Amino acid sequence: MFLVADNLQITNPVFQKAVSERDPVPIQDCVKRCVAAGAEAIDVNAGPLTKEPEERMAFLVETVQAVTDLPLYLDTTNAAALRMGLSVCRNRSVINGVSLEPKKLEEMLPLVSEFNVDIIGYLLYPTGQVPKTAEERLAVATELFAEIERAGISRERIIVDPVVPPLMWEDGVEQAMAFLETIRTLPDLLGFPVRTIAGLSNLTTGAGPKEKKLLVERTYLPMLASCGLSEVLMNAFHDETVRVARTCKILLNSAIFAWEAIP
């Protein structure tokens, strides 16, 4: 299970200010801390980038890759900004991401072939709504892979995100279990080792005590891991959760156990 840090979010006023003033320091500090904490990729969440989209995305990517060689997940709904980000990115890059929403398919898929990169595929209906049951998620996955194929893109390019539901939703707990079943079933359904990703913090979206949120996330993460999740998008500064994530990796991937490997 590959650990993608979600710490760099432009909605954070500190980073917003840094980007508008072209100040690399707060951004690079954050990235360095993520790397030190054990992140294996950095999600560069630039948001919709309504102002100076290309300039700001270029600045973000240049600023981040100046301090790390880790893969960058370019996370924006702005296609022009995304193209610019991919153009200037020298690290391995991943597009975050596409779904069955027509505008997304149209704008994002051509970039996959053009820049020869992987892309996250969200299991959402064309309307942007989240499917409820595992069956609904799997049906959407089949549709999404059909679109990918129609676009001439290799199915191995896709990292499927079945969209972690907030537990606070009326059927949030049920959907969280449906998410697990989706992760577990996808490779059998599609007949190849489908890669999957989950945004862990989605689970505890909304009001709630921080310490309990962390407990719930730490408990859900090994469930995800044991269902075969390939990548987790998470806060790299949550030390205890990172320890659990690294322990999951050891339990799932190690040939021989050694206490020295446990964080």
- Binding stretches for its own copies (CB under 8 A): 167-168, 170, 172-174, 176-177, 180, 208-209, 212, 215-216, 218-223, 225-227, 243-244, 247-248, 250-252, 254-257, 259, 262-263
Min dist CB 242 to its own copies, Å, is: 11
Residues 6 or more apart whose Cβ sits within 8 Å of residue 175: 130, 132, 165, 169
**136: nearest Cα among 100, 98, 96, 95:** 100
Min dist CB 4 to its own copies, Å, is: 19
Is the peptide bond between 47 and the residue preceding it cis, with omega within 30 degrees of 0? no
Label each residue of the chain as H, E or C: CEEEECCCECCCHHHHHHHHCCCHHHHHHHHHHHHHHCCCEEEEEEECCCCCHHHHHHHHHHHHHCCCCCCEEEEECCHHHHHHHHHHCCCCEEEEEECCCHHHHHHHHHHHHHHCCEEEEECCCCCCCCCCCHHHHHHHHHHHHHHHHHCCCCHHHEEEECCCCCCCCCCHHHHHHHHHHHHHHHHHHHCCCCEEEEEHHHHHCCCCCHHHHHHHHHHHHHHHHHCCCCEEEECCCCHHHHHHHHHHHHHHHCCCCCHHHCC
Which one, 80 or 261, has the nearer CB to its own copies?
Answer: 261
Which one, 11 or 253, has the nearer CB to its own copies?
Answer: 253
Which one, 21 or 211, has the nearer CB to its own copies?
Answer: 211
Which one, 33 or 218, has the nearer CB to its own copies?
Answer: 218
Min dist CB 22 to its own copies, Å, is: 41
Which one, 119 or 221, has the nearer CB to its own copies?
Answer: 221
Min dist CB 50 to its own copies, Å, is: 34
Min dist CB 225 to its own copies, Å, is: 7
Min dist CB 162 to its own copies, Å, is: 15
Min dist CB 214 to its own copies, Å, is: 10
Q: What is the CA radius of gyration of the chain?
A: 18
Which one, 177 or 190, has the nearer CB to its own copies?
Answer: 177
Which one, 72 or 183, has the nearer CB to its own copies?
Answer: 183
CB 199 within 8 A of CB 244: no
